[in-house]
Structure 1
Amino acid sequence: MPTLSINGDVHIPDNLIHALGLKPGAELAFERQGDAIVIRPVKKPSKISRVEEGPQILGYTGPTVTLEEMDDAIAKGAAQSL
């Protein structure tokens, strides 16, 4: 069972860290509810809001291509499949 250190630190159990997808440096909010403490990860709003940046919203980090390049690749793939 986790205990409070002399510095006020508490180790969050690994199963909770993984279940919530917490990473080192994650911001946590603490809230008192009666005699209990509720800890929640702070969800920061995404700064990405343009449709053109949609792949980044999904975590894609590869090279970007234009619509024309996509159309060309689709046409080339369709021609090769015939």
Structure 2
Amino acid sequence: MKKNIHPKNYRKVVFKDINNDKFFISRSTVNTKNTIKIKGINYPLYKMEISSYSHPFFTGEKKFIVKTGPAEKFKKKYEKYKKLN
């Protein structure tokens, strides 16, 4: 194995799922701007849009909520004209 290729700044980081406010603590080198206090200890905070707590594969839910993209907005906007024909 090559020496001195792995980062040296591993630390405990809180990964928080913004969809349901669940979190877990893991060691990481991810850059963060926010911090969170858990049990009196300040940790760097990384906010995730999806994790195993909210992903349909792990939750068993069929519905998957995604931010509306341009195609969905277009379809919704012109859906009323389709009904007239």
Give TM-score scaled by structure 2 length.
Answer: 0.28
Give TM-score scaled by structure 1 length.
Answer: 0.28
Q: Which has the larger radius of gyration?
A: 1
If asked which structure has higher relative contact order (CA below 8 Å, sep 6+), I would say 2
Q: Which has the higher strand share?
A: 2
Q: Which has the higher helix share?
A: 1
